[in-house]
Amino acid sequence: MRVIARDGSAETEIARSRFRCTVARVADVGAAQDVIDRVRRAGPDATHHCTALRIGDPGTGDLTARSSDDGEPSGTAGVPMLEVLTRRGLTDVVAVVSRWFGGTKLGAGGLVRAYSGALTAALDAVGELRRVRHRELLLAVGHDRAGRLEHDLRHSPYRLCDVTHGTDVTLTVAVAEPETGAFADWLAEHTGGGVEALDAGPRDLYLP
């Protein structure tokens, strides 16, 4: 799955109408509505605030996709914006395109191009990342062995996320779900089978 790399905005002008697109990464529909409300408050003089959002996991079917034309002719604003998000495979994102009417009507085709183009410009500006599901694994080792294992992990294909010192040293490692079997073999090889990985659950990482 893909997500936007950061929140941001971009502005375009067509036939004296201004189109400002705001995009934000969100975890749920409530957070998306907060973004929409904030954009509306920031631009009360805009003619329209058209929206599109995709939130969830399209792989499992747990996906919410919505759009709004906000008074523009039906299908000319929110729908083409949602199509842009869908084509790019983006999730956990809300987009709001605010329009300030410049006096010239664009027609249905012109509106579709304007709204989809404004969103495309904003997405190009903020960039994209991959959201990859990992397993968070905890490795508890004695202080005498921790330094060596930490060194080996930092020079391995796996991601060392945290090191906590207590009675033992706990190393937190994020391993992509398809690689958990290979990591178990790697861990056994580098510790002589003396360290067991405790699965602490799923963890999503955002990667280039």
50 or 61, which is more confident: 50
Maximum CA extent, the chain: 75
Predicted local distance difference test score (pLDDT) of residue 61: 80
Predicted local distance difference test score (pLDDT) of residue 60: 80
Which ranges of 28-98 does DSSP label H, i.e. alpha helix?
29-42, 78-87
- Residue range 7-16: average pLDDT? 97
Give me the sign of the Cα torsion angle 38, 43, 48, 51: negative
Single residue among 67, 99, 126 that ends a domain in this structure = 126
Q: Could you tell me the pLDDT band of residue 115, with boundaries at 50, 70 and 90? A: very high
**Residue keyed to tokens 């409530």:** 30
Structural domains counted in the chain: 2
Predicted local distance difference test score (pLDDT) of residue 72: 98
CA 103-101-40 angle, to 5 degrees, is 165
Stretch among 51-60, 61-70, 129-138, 196-205 having the lowest mean pLDDT:
51-60
Same-domain check for residues 39 and 71: yes
Same-domain check for residues 80 and 28: yes
Name residue 120's beta-bridge partners. none
Q: Domain range holding 192? A: 132-207
Same-domain check for residues 8 and 107: yes
What's the pTM value of the predicted model, to 2 decimals?
A: 0.85
